[in-house]
A and B are shown apart, each in its own frame.
Chain A
Amino acid sequence: MKKLKYDVVVLGGGAAGMGAINGALSQNVSVLLIEREASTGGVLNQCIHNGFGVHVFKQELSGPEYHEMYMEKLSRFDAMYETTVLNVDVKSNTLNTISISGVYEIKYGSLVLATGARERPFEALRIPGYRPAGVFTAGLAQHFVNLENRLPGHKAVIVGSGDIGLIMARRLTLEGVEVEGVYEIMPYQGGLTRNIVQCLDDFNIPLHLSTSIVEVHGKDRLEGVTVAKFENGHPVRKTERFVKCDTLVASVGLIPENDLVNETIELSDGSGANVDDLMRTNIYNVFAAGNNVCIHDLVDFAAVEGEIAGKNAAHVAKGKELPERMGILKKGEGVGLLSTKYTIAAEPFKLFVRVKKPMGTTILRLNDQKIKTVLAAKPSEMIEVKMDPSRYNMKGNLILSAMEVDKI
């Protein structure tokens, strides 16, 4: 077995991973990227639509452009491509990889997990019926269309209104596939409003809220689905309708990918890594950034988190001791997700908050302190909150709540 040693090892070369390389390189340490695919970029490579980079590059880029421009920022780093990490041992600071070059044991000073997310497959929804060909996750359909030039079918139904599903509704329409509609079980959309407008409204694709699939038809290839109205998570009788289609594209959620470390790293109830504002996990020299922490709206946010993680990972690798955690952030009323679990309460940082359900004018509070007011709060749009220890008490238990104004 071959052995290697690096100051900072980054797992995953998507947006957060590239950010981490950038952050670590700025501190003059040795950096190794380990990437499963043949190049950096992650899912950006198949996202040929634009809208990336508004924050980091101050312009709208396609995924591959974003990838290319970010790579230009990076000076020299080492990388192992088409390499899979089989296990991480946080006690000995080593990990084991496998690739066509054989097996390696790699010792790290610090580790940055930038392993991204995976899609929840349609099969996991336990929807009754047959299990024919023609059922795709949105990402798989996108891969076929954008990277392999293959059409998944000719008449499609999209289940779930997550962003990739909306993007695929437009993409398939542009390629001549008839998109019959988007079906969302919740009474509100899953993706960004801009995607509802640009991907559905502009193409007259109907979005059916509180509606989902109750049966899949077709033994070999998909022949159609039965849809029905839903109330409180249950189908409503007599609202069933058959929709003929040969393609079903599922955009029903992303799951933070932490399988490699799920026995050592503290995870949230949504299986994201619990980090502090330094992007540090419960292990002093293991950092995490991007969609494996929580599912972000924008790729820029993942990249910026990566930069913070990479920089702090480099500090730790060089022997610097980072400040201790002083505050614990907890979800209060109305809050579904917080990007950060702990804080050192020493410097301002950006916290991302998702509300549980759509609300009108909403006030965000940290314990009893009012910290932000938003005119409309939606679960699909992260609320950015500047957490500033010079303005708020950020030590101890910090309960973040979101309440609609007229209900207060």
Chain B
Amino acid sequence: MKVAVIGAGIVGSLIAREFTKYEIDVEVFEKLPDVGWGITKANSGILHAGYDDEPGTLRAKYCAKGNEMYDRLSKDLNFELKRIGSLVLAFSEEELNILKELEKRGKDNGVKGLKILNRIESLEVEPNLSREVISALYAPSAGIIAPWEAAQAAIENAVENGAMLHLSTEIKNISNENNQYVLDTSNGEFQFDMVINAAGLWADDLAEKTGVKVSPLHPRRGEYILLDQPGVVRTVIFPTPSEAGKGILVLPTVHDTVLLGPTSQDLPPTQKESTKTTFDGLSKIVKSAQKLVPAVNISKTIRTFAGLRPENDIKDFVLKREGNMMHVVATRSPGLSSAPAIAKDIVNDMLGDLEIKKRSDFNPHRAPLVKVIEMSDKERENIIAKNPSYGRVICRCNHVTEGEVVDAIRHGARTLDGIKFRTTAMFGRCQGSFCTVKIMKIMKRELGKNYEEIRKNLPNSQIVDGDVR
């Protein structure tokens, strides 16, 4: 029995890993050069508590459940998860009434620990809040992760358990012949018994290639500003939600930076790659973020970026099975939070009637990555004694060592962004102005490449070109 998972975002990665628990061959196809570089790379990274979602939706069914599953996942796969809690702020009686509705809805959805705080209690939790706040809905189960780290860890673990990963491999067509799915890809043809379509923004197009109609997707662009202002907030700060969505937030990241955003701009389906930031979007973020937290200091900007969420008209996930192919469509917010629960359900559904055994040798653990800066002096001494490159600091902003850069390459990084999104080197306030050359030197040595062959991320993202004369 062979299954193909198309898309190595957080959803595809967790589905692939879930399949490797069974005696079945798993292959993952990703059109980008690395794991988690689509929707997964550029979103808020929040595990939502689950009070937003109207009962009866798939969002409500999966969000709180998926969120809870991350505790185990983060332990097994060794990626960082911080349960920092969230606050939804109310600035008027009207908004307070919405908070009360959210609290009730949250309880219906099985969200634990929800509590409406008065003004003083809100300021105790978060001293930098606007003094205009009158009340806040506190959800202790909200958490933060770096979503790409979860996807990388899940894929790595899947590969350790026998899955095969095809990067930079785009699906051109899918046909069904004699109960076999034939995947025509940019790297040749492959045959499978089962296919999971977790192609993110392109999941609707891919479904259509197999003659299946799902409600069409359009990208909803979210712009962000990343700040070097650790400590300005400790929890995830939301405004009261509106028709337009959850609004612009202020939240800490697992890497001790602060994220402002996202905007919420609907784009036509033709703009599924439009990850640019805009003047209006960035201005709006500053204004909205400072309304929640006036202490937000915009002069501490590290960078800006934009991501795209897969949106449809029904504003809900679509899980549609047709034969032995499952389409996972519109995993918009809270798609990240829901992903583990969706993955489990899909694998159960696909394998339900078949008599496929669980593997006895499935290893749920991905070994932790070395992070020298987080070690004690004793641990540092030991690891440097064994491998001195763990003593050579390459990235001065986040204190990433040469040994960690080499580890990232051995874990699959082939581009500067591949290293950035595994080690946090180049993620900091200098944005790589000091460490880029050092990292490229290590890549040259470890990968046998020359400078011209090294890419930032995509195939044409060359860094340097040619000799000085």
Contact = CB atoms under 8 A, between A and B. Distances in A.
Nearest to A96: B377
Interface stretch (B92-100, B114-122, B450-458): B450-458
Given A84-B399, A151-B464, A140 B432 contact: yes
Interface stretch (A118-126, A303-311, A356-364, A380-388): A118-126
A130 B275 contact: yes
B466 A150 contact: yes
6 contacts: A98-B393, A101-B384, A121-B430, A125-B301, A150-B464, A153-B464
Interface residues of B, number: 56
B176 to A, nearest CB: 34
Given A128-B282, A140-B436, A150-B465, 16 more contacts: A98-B384, A98-B393, A100-B388, A101-B391, A103-B380, A103-B391, A122-B431, A125-B301, A132-B456, A140-B434, A175-B469, A176-B469, A220-B456, A220-B458, A220-B459, A221-B461
B302 interface: yes
B354 interface: no
Given A102-B385, A126-B304, A133 B468 contact: no
Interface string A107-147: 00000000000110111111011111110110110011101
A103 B459 CA distance: 40
Given A100-B389, A220-B459, A124 B433 contact: no
A86 B399 contact: yes
B431 A1 contact: no
Interface in B281-307: 281-282, 298, 301-305
Nearest to B304: A126
A133 B392 contact: no
| Range for the number of chain A residues in contact with chain B | 35 or more
Contacts of B175: none
Contact of B391 (A98, A143, A216): A98
A36 interface: yes
B433 A151 contact: no
B384 A133 contact: no
A151 B437 contact: no
A231 interface: no
Nearest to B226: A123
A175 B279 contact: no
Interface in A78-110: 82, 84, 86, 96, 98-103
Interface of A: 1, 36, 82, 84, 86, 96, 98-103, 118-119, 121-126, 128-134, 136-137, 139-140, 143-145, 147-154, 175-176, 214-216, 219-221, 235
B467 A150 contact: yes
Most buried by B among A128, A153, A154, A176: A128
Contact of B433 (A98, A119, A153): A119
A133 B463 contact: yes
B381 A148 contact: no
Nearest to A147: B437
A214 B468 contact: no
Contacts of B328: none
B419 to A, nearest CB: 14
Given A145-B468, A148-B437, A1 B304 contact: no
B225 interface: yes
Interface in B251-289: 273, 275-279, 281-282
Nearest to A234: B279
Interface string B371-384: 01100011011001
Contacts of A82: 392
Contact of A128 (B277, B393, B466): B277
A137 B433 contact: yes
A139 to B, nearest CB: 6
B462 A149 contact: no
B460 interface: yes
Nearest to B279: A128
Contact of B225 (A126, A131, A137, A149): A126
A148 B408 CA distance: 24
Given A221-B460, A221-B461, A103 B302 contact: no
B272 to A, nearest CB: 12
Contacts of B458: 219-220
Nearest to A246: B465
A118 B433 contact: yes
Given A36-B393, A98-B380, A100-B391, A123 B304 contact: yes
Interface of B: 225, 273, 275-279, 281-282, 298, 301-305, 372-373, 377-378, 380-381, 384-385, 388-389, 391-393, 396, 399, 401, 429-434, 436-437, 451-452, 455-469
A214 B279 CA distance: 8
A140 B396 contact: no
B437 A103 contact: no
Contacts of B389: 100
Contacts, number: 147
A30 B4 CA distance: 66
Contacts of B399: 84, 86
Nearest to B382: A102
Given A100-B392, A102-B381, A121 B431 contact: yes
B433 A102 contact: no
A139 B433 contact: yes
B391 A126 contact: no
A118 B462 contact: no
Contacts of B461: 132-133, 220-221
A133 B433 contact: no
Contacts of A215: 276
Contacts of A131: 303, 305
Contacts of B393: 36, 84, 98
Nearest to A217: B276
Nearest to A175: B468
Given A119-B430, A121-B433, A123-B302, A99 B466 contact: no
A129 B303 CA distance: 12
Contacts of B388: 100-101
A123 B276 contact: no
A215 B304 CA distance: 13
A129 B378 CA distance: 46
A86 B385 CA distance: 18
Most chain B CB within a 10 A radius of its CB, from A119, A145, A151, A154: A151
A176 B467 CA distance: 11
Contact of B467 (A101, A149, A153, A216): A149
B279 A219 contact: no
- The winner among B275, B377, B378, B455 for most chain A CB atoms within 10 A is B377
A133 B463 CA distance: 6
A149 B301 contact: no
A292 to B, nearest CB: 13
Contacts of B452: 150
Nearest to B417: A133
Nearest to B275: A130
A125 B304 CA distance: 9
Contacts of B468: 145, 149-151, 175
B462 A99 contact: no
Contacts of A132: 456, 461
Given A102-B391, A139-B433, A151 B466 contact: yes
A103 B376 CA distance: 10
Contacts of B275: 130, 219
A274 B384 CA distance: 37
Contacts of A1: 377-378, 381
A163 to B, nearest CB: 16
A294 to B, nearest CB: 18
A126 B301 contact: yes
A26 B456 CA distance: 48
A130 B276 contact: yes
Contacts of B432: 121, 140
